[in-house]
Amino acid sequence: MATLKNLPTELLIMILSRLPLKTLSSFKLVCKFWYALINDPTNCSLQHKSILLKHIIPDGRSYKHVHFILKFSHDLDRSISIINFDLPFSKDNPFSDICGHSHGLVCLSDDKDVFLLNPTTREFRKLPSSILHYTGPDHELHSWNSKTVGFRYDSKSKDFKVVRVVEFVHIYDSDGPTKMEIYDLRKDRWREIESPLPDHLMSICSFDIYHEGKYYWWSRNIIGSNIIQTFDISEEVFDEISVPDSLSYEDNVYISIGILNGNIVILRTFYHRIIEKEKDIYVWERKKDEDGVVSWSKLFTIGPSFGIERSLLAVSSDELLMETNERQLIFYNIKTQRVKPIPIKGLGGYFCATLFENSLVSVKGGHNMLYEF
């Protein structure tokens, strides 16, 4: 009869991956080999992903940010598990926004502070204060805030990075200058980098979508034409790509971008011409053809039905997490056009969601941590 120490490593990993993460965490005390095996992020992920969801509900005369974790199967016939999730730092920072995820870690930020959180282990880390300073006369500075924040793993440096754009607000002018900084988790410090972009091109949705080493966000160039701005997380350089001609001057209120089937997509919402209060969502896809030429093509249309208001997240290659005009969340299957309601309601237009993998990756950082995936 084989003992655990004689089992092939691949088989042991398969056995461990089926255990609840709380049980798995206690197994790190068995021996050094198990500790290293369990701490290896490539071995600790479970089979299913979860969604961290934030929405806003009325709370007396004010509003409250509420977070949930949605555990689900890609089969719409199966149930959805909804877990009320209190952020471990919510007492002092109740209004944190979701700013990205990577390898089981989630980044959250309010106007001043940035946190890294592992929702599975509830381990979190508050990042150091910004190193950016206003260089103008002190009497002109009214305030500063985090205009936009992004978070990802950089395979080149083998480290997690947080990108932050800080906006300095003039007392006489609401549109003050912006500066940019990057935080390296292993070094546990911020460093300033130069941004070649005009201040108005760094919006609150910058660093919103990440794909194959780059951030993507909807923006405008200096002549006012719509573009997709990009930022390479490893090389730390900006670039831009064109959009379909029909969208070059569209109002960006009705446009979002995402990742579907491994490609960048644009989702444009139109009010339906005939059915009152209903909307269509047109989807364009950017991909290479057989000759390597990259172009945009119309992929499909969603609606006009189900009361769909906007798309929040591509859950898989077939399913989208969407918000309806009744302030209801739904899963929408692109192929079957089936809908599964999620029993959560909030203020319309304020839902925010991100996928994350269940993992034991630590947010402790430091030079002794090795993040290799």
pLDDT digits (tens, 9 = 90+) for 179-197: 899 999 999 999 999 887 7
Token duo for residue 312:
């929040």
pLDDT tens-digit readout, 264-294: 999 887 766 666 666 788 899 998 888 888 8
Q: Which two tokens stand for residue 182?
A: 């990057």
| CA–CA separation, 197 and 177 (whole Å) | 11
C-alpha span between 300 and 333 (Å, rounded): 13
**pLDDT per residue as tens digits for the range 221-266:** 888 888 998 999 999 999 999 999 888 887 766 788 888 888 999 9
Instruction: Give the pLDDT score at 1.
Output: 44
Query: What residue segments make up the domains of the chain, in order of their start?
Result: 1-39
| Strand residue runs (E) in 29-96 | 49-59, 62-71, 81-84
With a cut of 50, list the residues of the chain below it in pLDDT.
1, 44-47
In this prediction, residue 44 carries a pLDDT of 45
Task: Output the pLDDT for position 77.
Answer: 63
Please give the angle made by the CA atoms of 258, 185 and 178, to the nearest 5 degrees: 65
Q: For residue 224, what pLDDT is reported?
A: 83
Which residues, 6 or more positions from 116, have their beta carbon under 8 angstroms from its beta carbon?
Answer: 105, 106, 107, 124, 125, 127, 151, 160, 162, 185, 363
CB atoms < 10 A from the CB of 373, how many? 12
